[in-house]
Amino acid sequence: MLVPKRAKFRKQFRGTMRGEEIRGSMIAFGQYGLKALSAGWVSSRQIEAGRRVLTRYTQKGGRVWIRIFPDKPISDKPPEVRMGGGKGDVVDYVSVVRPGRIIFEMGGIPEDLAKQAMGSAGSKLPVSTKFITRN
């Protein structure tokens, strides 16, 4: 799973997800992409699940690019703990995804196979997505 090697600060605020994505909204590496249509947090486990689906479809020489990285730490307190006592421990890392962001890219396989793979990978994610092609 994807986890940052180092972080300047151990814990972060939750933040807001307003607006549309400007950076990372065009296909840069492959011929096909999976674009986010809604905002949300995509965890490292969900990215890994999508990656596994895509690599299963690209056994015969295709290529997969992951365009997001989970660098936001999410903290959580254990169950049945009273209020107070500070912020909880870091339990997971997520990537903040806003509408317009390309999440995965693929290349080297036919379009119908790529569309099927991207649809299957998109069902593993908590954001709504659509399949796009270059041009």
Q: Is pLDDT of 60 > 80?
A: no
Q: Is pLDDT of 53 > 90?
A: yes
HSE (side-chain half, CA atoms, 13 Å) at 5: 0
Rounded CA gap, 133 and 115, in Å? 9
Per-residue confidence (pLDDT) for residue 1, from 0 to 100: 86
From 123, 121, 107, 25, select the one nearest 64 (Cα to Cα). Answer: 107
Mean of pLDDT values over 115-121: 96
Per-residue confidence (pLDDT) for residue 59, from 0 to 100: 85
Q: Is pLDDT of 135 > 90?
A: no
Residue ranges and CATH numbers for the domains of the chain are 43-76+86-133 (3.90.1170.10)
Question: Token match 């180092």: residue?
Answer: 6
Record the pTM: 0.92
Confidence of residue 48 (pLDDT cuts 50, 70, 90): very high
